[in-house]
């Protein structure tokens, strides 16, 4: 009897190497292939667009038939959740907190964030190419290359494409030309900080024959011959062939270390809001009961509409970038607390207050480990009350550029 494939045995990898189209096993290296440790509840699928043609005519024996045709393959949809884990690899030079490649990689899924936010691929194929900056920072604003930090712009026409490999126990699927469309950070106070990643791809391919053996030879599992192969992770040598970089181990100045979890209960938010274009703003700092942050590229795909063939997506374009979030807090009186913040937002009669408002989200609190998001221009919607045993207030917000075209809606800073 064929063996069942268990969700709990799933492994996910992101790579620039295309195994389904003949990529060599020796091309897989820690410099271009990274593991993503995911939580239960992931999904990956590809559906078809269909057309139904019906017949309906008069008479005693009418043709009442129906036919269905597959017209196109929709883009692959994938999503998974991973813990938000600072690595300590925050520096681009020096003797501490620096990777052997001098690339800043301050969070375990740094490459996913770069694929989401930047036009610069995180790998050249043989070398790492991080666009993260010194001190674990990622400024979204357009910038030129700096020492050990790649050039970057967030105003790109189409997203960088990679390949995702889902090793589902004994079955290996490849999401070809995968794009990272959206990241949602959840900082609910009763849990551990996580990021939900969603994206697309052009094709979902089950690897078979030599392509499957190539994947198994690196990721581990049972070869087509029945032989058991151990995974070949390498944390120290980025150019090692037929290997990948593991999720939870990192080489900092030659010493292997692991990433830390972030405890959401310590999270805080600092908001500055000015009720008018003149005068200083009021700073509000208060604990939250719920906090979320979302970055969405709004990617769309182009698919031909030729007759009598099964059409496939031929390309993708990035839409309007949306950086938003929400927070909930207990309703507390005080000059810098949530009740005063609600009052000030309600009394602000301007159509937009983004250029006189900013926010700093510190997921994990003010001391490391934390994942901080600074939003220099924020539009707050009118807060709403939540009536429960303890009365609360909730508000949605949208980050904006400080000037049109600057692409500077946010700066991320990560510390371990």
Q: What tens digit of pLDDT does each residue of 268-304 get? A: 889 988 877 665 678 888 888 889 999 999 999 999 9
Question: Which two structure tokens, joined as six digits, stand for 338?
Answer: 């949530």
Task: State the CATH class of domain 265-415.
Answer: mainly beta
Q: What is the pLDDT of residue 344?
A: 85
Helix (H, G, I), strand (E, B) or coil at 346: helix
Q: What is the pLDDT of residue 215?
A: 97
- What band does 231 get if pLDDT is binned at 50, 70 and 90? very high
Taking a C-beta distance cutoff of 8 angstroms, is the pair 115, 159 a contact? yes
**Residue 189 region by backbone torsions, left for phi larger than 0, else alpha for psi between -120 and 50, else beta:** alpha
Token pair 């690339």: residue = 103
Question: Is the pLDDT confidence value at 216 over 80?
Answer: yes
Taking a C-beta distance cutoff of 8 angstroms, is the pair 25, 217 a contact? yes
pLDDT (tens digit per residue) in 355-411: 889 999 999 988 899 999 999 999 999 888 889 899 999 999 999 999 888 889 999
Taking a C-beta distance cutoff of 8 angstroms, is the pair 250, 86 a contact? no
pTM of the complete model: 0.94
User: For residue 303, which of 48, 25, 32 has the smallest C-alpha distance?
Assistant: 48
Mean pLDDT of the 113-120 span:
97
The phi, psi pair for 382, rounded to 5°, reads: -65, 125
pLDDT (tens digit per residue) in 141-153: 999 999 999 999 9
User: For residue 267, which of 298, 293, 231 has the smallest C-alpha distance?
Assistant: 293
- Separation CA 77–CA 74 (nearest Å): 9
Token pair 């005063």: residue = 340
The phi, psi pair for 368, rounded to 5°, reads: -60, 145
Token pair 């990272």: residue = 180
The phi, psi pair for 219, rounded to 5°, reads: -85, -15
Mean pLDDT of the 258-265 span:
88
Q: What is the pLDDT of residue 347?
A: 83
pLDDT (tens digit per residue) in 33-53: 999 999 999 999 999 999 999
**DSSP letter assigned to residue 128:** B
- Separation CA 138–CA 133 (nearest Å): 6
- Separation CA 116–CA 179 (nearest Å): 8
Number of CB atoms found within 10 A of residue 348's CB:
18
Q: What is the pLDDT of residue 294?
A: 97
How far, in Å, are 29, 196, 254, 303 from residue 70 at the CA level?
A: 39, 31, 54, 13
The ranges assigned to domains in the chain are: 7-46+76-237, 265-415
For 188, counting Cβ atoms within 10 Å of its Cβ (0-12 exposed, 13-18 middle, 19+ buried), the class is middle
């Amino acid at each position: 009897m064929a063996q069942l494939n268990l969700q709990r045995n799933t492994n996910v990898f992101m790579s620039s190497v295309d195994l389904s189209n003949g990529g060599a096993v020796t091309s897989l290296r820690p410099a271009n292939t990274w593991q993503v440790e995911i939580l239960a509840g992931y999904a990956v699928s590809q559906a078809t667009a269909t057309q139904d043609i019906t017949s309906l005519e008069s008479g005693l024996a009418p043709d009442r038939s129906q036919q269905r045709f597959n017209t196109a393959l929709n883009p692959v949809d994938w999503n998974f959740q991973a813990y938000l884990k600072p690595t300590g690899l925050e520096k681009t030079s020096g003797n501490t907190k620096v990777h052997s490649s001098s690339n800043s990689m301050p969070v375990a899924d740094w490459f996913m964030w770069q694929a989401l936010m930047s036009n610069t691929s995180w790998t050249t194929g043989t070398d790492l190419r991080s666009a993260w900056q010194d001190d674990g920072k990622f400024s979204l604003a357009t910038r030129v290359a700096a020492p050990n930090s790649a050039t970057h712009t967030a105003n790109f026409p189409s997203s960088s494409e990679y390949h995702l490999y889902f090793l589902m126990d004994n079955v290996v699927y490849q999401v070809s030309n995968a794009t990272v469309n959206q990241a949602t950070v959840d900082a609910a106070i009763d849990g551990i900080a996580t990021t939900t990643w969603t994206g697309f791809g052009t094709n979902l391919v089950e690897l078979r024959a030599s392509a499957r053996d190539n994947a198994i030879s690196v990721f581990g599992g049972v070869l087509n011959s029945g032989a058991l192969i151990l995974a070949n992770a390498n944390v120290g040598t980025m150019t090692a062939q037929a290997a990948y970089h593991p999720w939870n181990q990192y080489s900092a100045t030659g010493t292997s270390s692991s990433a830390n979890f972030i405890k959401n209960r310590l999270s805080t938010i600092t908001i500055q809001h000015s009720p008018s274009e003149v005068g200083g703003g009021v700073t509000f700092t208060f604990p939250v009961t719920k906090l979320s942050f979302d970055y969405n590229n709004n990617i769309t795909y182009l698919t031909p509409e030729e007759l009598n063939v099964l059409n496939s997506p031929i390309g993708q374009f990035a839409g309007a970038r949306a950086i938003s979030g929400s927070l909930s807090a207990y309703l507390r009186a005080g000059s810098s607390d949530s009740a005063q913040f609600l009052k000030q937002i309600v009394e602000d009669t301007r159509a937009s207050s983004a250029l006189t408002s900013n926010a700093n989200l510190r997921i994990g609190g003010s001391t490391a480990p934390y994942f901080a998001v600074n939003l220099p221009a924020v539009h707050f919607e009118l807060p709403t009350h939540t009536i429960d045993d303890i009365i609360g207030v909730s508000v949605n917000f949208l980050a904006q550029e400080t000037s049109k075209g600057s692409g500077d809606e946010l700066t991320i800073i990560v510390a371990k």
